[in-house]
């Protein structure tokens, strides 16, 4: 079953076409890697699907519902979450508070009840806190709940951003360069975390320049170059594709 179905997607900025007539899909519990050289249109593609930009042309369907042109908040509420190429945490808030904020779109208590600290509001706040603590433990940050986000090591900040995204209860998770800036051990740990998230029911699309990571965990890889899809297939197929080697890899990538 296709969780996301994209048909003929294009996005132009004035005279520049950043994404050009791209067809794309991801099936339930699949990990799809999106790769390509800098400027290939990968992040723009993410931004169009998640509501940051409106598409110039094309269709975007999530679980059979059109989401083209919807606001980011609406896309999130439907069940799509993302992380960012440049980390966007609330630096002056604790790790726990960052993850609690991620649950805001699922909360039922209104502002009036929260201000008055009604029993219902207090119960929901406790549930939100408990879930945030569980997510911090899930991503390996159990002992860092009270630390300010800005004081966490870089790799931990990446994990915290994943926890915050998961707090929205998504069915589809977009990861934009999750291994950027990580050392080899942190990357290994991240690979295990992404596999675990998928194995427990999540569908994942990731942009990544670390070829060992993307080739090691992706079920399927899509390659963009100058905004156009030039290849798609299993890691074994893509790593040997002459067009991909010429445009991006420079040489065949070993498994």
Same domain membership, residue 131 and residue 73: no
List the CATH number of the domain containing 67.
3.40.50.300
Return d(Cα 250, Cα 242) in angstroms, integer. 9
Task: Please name the helix (run of DSSP H) or strand (run of DSSP E) that holds residue 82, with its range, or none.
Answer: strand 80-82
- Please indicate, yes or no, if residue 100 is contained in any of the structural domains: yes
Same domain membership, residue 51 and residue 34: yes
Does the pTM surpass 0.85? The reply is yes
Same domain membership, residue 8 and residue 26: yes
- Please indicate, yes or no, if residue 200 is contained in any of the structural domains: yes
Same domain membership, residue 49 and residue 5: yes
Cα-only R_g, the chain:
19
Do 48 and 9 touch, CB atoms closer than 8 A? yes
Give one DSSP letter per residue of 51-69, joined into a string. Answer: TSS--SEEEEEETTEE-TT
Which residues are CB-contacts of 185 (< 8 A; sequence separation ≥ 6)?
A: none
Boundary (domain end) residue, out of 139, 168, 197: 168
Same domain membership, residue 185 and residue 128: no
Count of domains forming the chain:
2
Same domain membership, residue 174 and residue 164: no
Do 161 and 192 touch, CB atoms closer than 8 A? no
Q: What is the pLDDT of residue 31?
A: 97
- Please indicate, yes or no, if residue 84 is contained in any of the structural domains: no
Do 243 and 230 touch, CB atoms closer than 8 A? yes
Same domain membership, residue 120 and residue 237: no
Do 36 and 246 touch, CB atoms closer than 8 A? no
Same domain membership, residue 223 and residue 102: no
- Please indicate, yes or no, if residue 85 is contained in any of the structural domains: no
Q: What is the pLDDT of residue 15?
A: 86
Boundary (domain end) residue, out of 150, 168, 186: 168
Do 19 and 53 touch, CB atoms closer than 8 A? no
Same domain membership, residue 71 and residue 114: no
What range does the domain containing 126 cover?
A: 90-168
Per-residue pLDDT of the chain (255 residues; tens, 9 = 90+): 799 999 999 999 988 999 999 999 999 999 999 999 888 899 999 999 999 999 999 999 999 999 998 999 999 999 999 998 888 899 999 999 999 988 876 555 654 455 556 666 666 677 888 899 999 999 999 999 999 999 999 889 999 999 999 999 999 999 999 998 888 899 999 999 999 999 999 999 999 988 889 999 999 999 999 999 999 999 999 988 888 888 776 655 444
CB atoms closer than 10 angstroms to residue 228? 16
Same domain membership, residue 255 and residue 174: yes
Boundary (domain end) residue, out of 168, 186, 215: 168
Same domain membership, residue 131 and residue 30: no
Same domain membership, residue 162 and residue 45: no
243: helix, strand or coil: helix
């Amino acid at each position: 079953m296709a969780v996301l179905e994209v048909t003929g997607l294009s996005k132009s900025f004035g005279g520049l076409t950043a994404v050009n007539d791209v067809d794309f899909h991801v099936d339930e519990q699949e990990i799809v890697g999106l790769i390509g050289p800098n400027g290939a249109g990968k992040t723009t593609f993410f931004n169009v699907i998640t509501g940051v930009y409106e598409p110039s042309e094309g269709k975007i369907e999530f679980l059979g519902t059109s989401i083209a042109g919807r606001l980011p908040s609406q896309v999130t509420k439907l069940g799509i979450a993302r992380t960012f190429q440049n980390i966007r945490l609330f630096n002056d808030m604790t790790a726990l508070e960052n993850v609690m904020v991620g649950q805001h779109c699922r909360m039922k208590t209104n502002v009036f009840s929260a201000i008055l600290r009604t029993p219902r509001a207090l119960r929901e706040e406790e549930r939100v806190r408990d879930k945030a603590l569980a997510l911090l433990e899930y991503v390996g940050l159990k002992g860092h709940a009270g630390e300010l986000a800005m004081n966490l090591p870089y790799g931990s900040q990446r994990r915290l951003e994943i926890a915050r995204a998961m707090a929205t209860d998504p069915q589809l998770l977009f990861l934009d360069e999750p291994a950027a800036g990580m050392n080899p051990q942190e990357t290994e740990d991240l690979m295990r975390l992404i596999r675990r998230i998928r194995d427990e029911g999540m569908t994942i699309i990731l942009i990544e320049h670390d070829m060992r990571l993307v080739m090691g965990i992706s079920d399927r890889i899509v390659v963009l170059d100058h905004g156009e899809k030039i290849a798609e297939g299993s890691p074994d197929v893509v790593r040997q594709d002459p067009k991909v080697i010429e445009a991006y890899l420079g040489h065949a990538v070993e498994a």
